[in-house]
């Protein structure tokens, strides 16, 4: 059986394309009592593609019907023996599918607010081209290479295999993220998403073409990972707008100074923490009587011993802000600080936005005191450009880098640090504090400022 195309057409000027067919019937009332308030029903029927050479249309079977009436609040349209279809604005489009040239009755009713109505019956002759073949039942499947429960966005190769199928299709066209169509005769297509490292959403549109070059199409959006070299063992690419991924992050909440005389209250509110435009944005705000911000942590969700951490971030420029990308030992709840150990991959003071700090803290068992070792490095564009802040951590040392340039190294094994905490699991923390020991004085005119993070990646 042939399938006929149901097209949507752009209506050109009536004088060129549209045949307006007026019924010879007259308006009549459904209520002979004369109490109707709706009146003056006028109906026009336009057959798409009608002209002098094609008085019954272009073969698509499409008609546009418009009805107007005084005091009408709704309209009903019945095509042939079909069910009545409602339209509040009096405009409707219908496609006749019976092949050949056929004449149909179109019954139009206009209803008043009281439920009263008047009606008109129009006749129209429409031609449907039986030679048009339109594909149907188009499906698109995408198989991301390396996909499994542990790798929901693939293995990092960026390779995706697509398969499209449709009844009566003889070829297919694929468009990736709005690019030009690539043709496939059998519906299969392989594409490698390698323009941007990380995880990105991509829109794939496939068009199924018939032997008469008529078509249908469908689109799908998928997330695909691509990495140069080995992919990270854990990452957040912040590619989905909304709240941070709850599988990766939880929050520290509340006020109390956090051991450093900090001035902010941490929240999980969208005004303080949100993912948008491919970035995690942690925003410190003045609330009049105080300040709010946010502190995310992977505690209880992801922790690790040894590896490399890369965080691409742009830091807040306002004085008084204290951004930090850091880690605490996972035994913090039982051992407390500093016995759990702390690794500060990046901290920045509130008074010098041209430098960042790398620091480690631990408990010195030799003299029962807190021990620290830290260095700073110049990052002149830390607040205007993104930089990659990195940790390289193994069984013997901790190294901290900015844009792959090392500025900090410390021996961290138990031989150099008795009872070293740096041989056990740590979790990641991201936050912006206000004031306190490294934030310093907060200007009276401070309103808000943000740390923006492009990604967090952890490699073995």
Look up 452 and say whether it is catalytic. Answer: no
Taking alpha carbons only, the member of 371, 417, 379 closest to residue 397 is 417
Look up 342 and say whether it is catalytic. Answer: yes
The residue count for the chain: 460
First CA to last CA distance, the chain: 59
Among 46, 347, 452, 460, the one annotated catalytic: 347
**Dist. CA 126–CA 115, nearest whole Å:** 32
Sort residue 143 into left (φ over 0), alpha (ψ -120 to 50) or beta.
beta
Taking alpha carbons only, the member of 156, 142, 215, 143 closest to residue 181 is 215
CA dihedral 410, 390, 299, 265 (to 10 degrees): 100
Question: Which residues are 291's β-sheet partners?
Answer: 264, 286
Among 46, 122, 200, 342, the one annotated catalytic: 342
Please give the distance of CA 122 from its chain centroid, rounded to a whole number. 48
CA dihedral 440, 442, 446, 449 (to 10 degrees): 20
Question: Which residues are 251's β-sheet partners?
Answer: 296
Question: What residues act catalytically?
Answer: 342, 347
């Amino acid at each position: 059986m042939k399938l006929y195309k149901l097209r949507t057409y752009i209506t050109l000027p009536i004088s060129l394309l549209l045949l307006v067919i007026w019924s010879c019937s007259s308006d009549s009332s459904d209520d002979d009592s004369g109490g109707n308030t709706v009146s003056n029903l006028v109906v026009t029927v336009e057959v798409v593609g009608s002209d002098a050479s094609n008085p019954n249309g272009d073969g698509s079977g499409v008609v546009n019907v418009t009805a107007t009436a005084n005091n009408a609040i709704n309209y009903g349209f019945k095509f042939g023996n079909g069910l009545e279809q409602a339209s509040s604005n009096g405009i409707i489009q219908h496609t006749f599918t019976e092949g050949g040239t056929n004449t149909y009755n179109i019954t139009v009713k206009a209803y008043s607010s009281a439920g009263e109505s008047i009606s008109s019956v129009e006749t129209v002759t429409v031609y449907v081209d039986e030679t048009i073949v339109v594909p149907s039942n188009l499906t698109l499947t995408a198989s991301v290479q390396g996909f499994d429960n542990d790798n929901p966005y693939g293995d990092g190769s960026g390779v995706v295999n697509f398969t499209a199928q449709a009844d009566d299709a003889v070829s297919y066209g694929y468009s990736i993220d709005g690019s030009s169509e690539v043709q496939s005769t059998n519906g299969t297509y392989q594409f490698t998403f390698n323009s941007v490292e990380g995880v990105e959403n991509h829109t794939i549109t496939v068009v199924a073409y018939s032997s008469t070059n008529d078509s249908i199409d469908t689109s799908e959006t998928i997330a695909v990972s691509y990495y140069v070299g080995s992919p990270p063992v854990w990452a957040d690419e912040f590619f989905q707008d909304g709240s941070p991924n709850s599988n990766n992050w939880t929050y520290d909440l509340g006020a109390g100074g956090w051991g450093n005389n900090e001035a902010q209250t941490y929240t999980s509110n969208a005004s303080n923490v949100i993912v948008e435009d491919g970035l995690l944005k942690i925003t410190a705000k003045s609330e009049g009587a105080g300040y709010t911000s946010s502190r995310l942590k992977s505690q209880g969700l992801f922790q690790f011993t040894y590896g490399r951490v890369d965080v691409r971030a742009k830091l807040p420029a306002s004085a008084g802000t204290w951004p930090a990308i850091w880690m605490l030992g996972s035994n913090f709840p039982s051992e407390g600080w500093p016995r759990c150990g702390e690794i500060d991959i990046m901290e920045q003071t509130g008074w010098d936005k041209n430098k960042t700090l790398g620091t480690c803290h631990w408990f010195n068992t030799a003299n029962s005191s807190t021990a620290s070792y830290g260095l700073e490095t110049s990052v002149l564009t830390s607040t205007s450009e993104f930089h990659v802040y990195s940790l390289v951590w193994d069984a013997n040392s901790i190294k901290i880098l900015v844009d792959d340039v090392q500025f900090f190294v410390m021996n961290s094994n138990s031989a150099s640090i008795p009872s070293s905490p740096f041989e056990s699991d740590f979790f990641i923390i991201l936050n912006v504090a206000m004031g306190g020991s490294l934030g310093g004085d907060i200007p009276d005119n401070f309103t808000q400022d943000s740390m923006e993070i492009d990604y967090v990646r952890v490699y073995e």
